[in-house]
Amino acid sequence: MKPKVAFFDMASCEGCQLAILNCEDIFLNILELIDIVEFREAMSDKAPRFDIAFVEGSVNRELDAERVRDIRARCSVLVSLGACACNGNVQARSNFQAPAENLEQVYGSEDRNRVQTDPQFWPLWAHTRVRPLKEVVKVDYELRGCPVDKGEFLHLVKSVIAGSIPRFAPKAVCVECKMNGNECVFERGETCMGQITYAGCNAICVSGGYRCDGCRGPLPEANLRAHRQLLREKGLSDQQIDNRYRLFCSTDNMAREGGS
């Protein structure tokens, strides 16, 4: 019997589900291992129960939290799929502003007044707090990144089927960056989140000529206070550092750093 697998999305861009659908080179291998019973982006079937649930996206409303709890009750293994589900991602930045400020940034001052006085919309805005899945339900595994890495996805599926624990070595992006022979961006007077961020992406952004912005989240042992001090020494203000930390993983970074 192949395990039944289902995919769900909360608040997200659906890019992680798309990344999995785009794995043409391994998708046939995957289908030999599992039965996909629910996947809104790819099929219309619904399933009452499943063995593994991959859940993409953050929990923004109580409605979403109820949905995640229902998914948890219907599966044996629940996996957070991508940075939105693991760490809240960019939408969690809204947690640091008052709802009225968020509304103004999205709608502008004129429309903000209209939405704010509309009982259909305002309660949604007033009661939104972006949470990663692990703040709402027990999460068995996390697939990090924005979007997730297909190799890690396949490793996780094979491990769960084999009854073993998937291994995602807790090393920093710097390790993969150096293995790729990249010049460190600090040498150019720029800054980077690679020292405190989970590897697994092969340092793709630095290898491509940019820097690491930390989409895979902070390592368990990362010394965020020392990293903040380093960024200060490189000339970033605390506000700029907060913006960098909150870009992808504010819920993890800020919780572990104890605030800015």
* Residue 255 binds to ligand SF4 (criterion: CB under 6 A): no
Tell me which of 130, 192, 196, 249 binds ligand SF4, using CB under 6 A: 192
User: What is the C-alpha R_g of the chain?
Assistant: 20
Using CB under 6 A, pick the residue from 177, 222, 231, 254 that binds ligand SF4. Answer: 177
Positions in 76-95 near ligand SF4 (CB under 6 A) = 82-84, 89
Separation CA 142–CA 153 (nearest Å): 10
Q: According to the binding rule CB under 6 A, does residue 254 interact with ligand SF4?
A: no
**88 Cβ contact partners less than 8 Å away, ≥ 6 residues apart:** 58, 95, 130, 131, 132, 249, 250, 251, 252
Q: Which is nearer to ligand SF4, 79 or 192 (CB)?
A: 192
Stretch that binds ligand SF4, among 24-32, 128-136, 161-169, 196-204 (CB under 6 A): 196-204
Report the amino acid identity of residue 8. Answer: F
Q: Is 196 in the site for ligand SF4 (CB under 6 A)?
A: no
Q: Which is nearer to ligand SF4, 23 or 204 (CB)?
A: 204
Residue 258 DSSP one-character state? T
- Residue 38 DSSP symbol: E
For residue 67, the minimal CB distance to ligand SF4 (Å) is: 16
Burial of 235 by CB count in 10 Å (0-12 exposed, 13-18 middle, 19+ buried)? exposed
Does residue 137 sit in helix, strand or coil? coil
Please report, as ranges, the residues that interact with ligand SF4 according to CB under 6 A. Answer: 12-16, 56, 82-84, 89, 145-147, 173-174, 177-178, 182, 184-186, 192, 194-195, 197, 201, 203-206, 212-216
